Amino acid sequence: MNLDKAKKRIAKQVKKGFNGYPKITLMYFGSSKDCATEVAVQFTLSEGDSAQEERFACETEIRNNELIQTTLLKIIERAKVNSVIEVEGVTVL
């Protein structure tokens, strides 16, 4: 899948906001605020449940990595979640 197409489809899900559970939360991490090299995907089935987390990493900007963005989109689509939340910015490790 095309990088731009994957990013747009993820952004569309994020724009819908919180619509209940199950939900996926995306958090980006990196060595600086300008470059995310890791993403954490947290899946929460219902309120009060603990989140299941999967992390992906690469050596370059992960938000511009076609394979990672396509994988995130597939996870979102296959989990059939009601909400996709993206934490703003990059958390410095």
* The predicted structure's pLDDT at residue 81: 96
* The predicted structure's pLDDT at residue 22: 97
d(CA 88, CA 27): 8
71-81 average pLDDT score: 96
* pLDDT over 70, % of the chain: 100
Q: Please tell me what DSSP assigns to residue 48.
A: T
Residues shown for the chain: 93
* The predicted structure's pLDDT at residue 1: 76
Tokens of residue 2, six digits: 């095309």
Alpha-helical (H) ranges within 23-92 are 66-79
At 36-70, the pLDDT tens digits run: 999 999 999 999 999 999 999 999 999 999 999 99
Rounded to the nearest integer, the mean pLDDT of the chain is 95
Residue 35: how many CB atoms within 10 A of its CB? 14
Question: What CATH topology corresponds to 3-88?
Answer: Nucleotidyltransferase; domain 5 (3.30.420)
Instruction: Determine contact, residues 75/52, Cβ cutoff 8 Å.
Output: no
Q: What are the φ/ψ torsions at residue 68 (nearest 5 degrees)?
A: -65, -45
pTM over 0.85, yes/no: yes
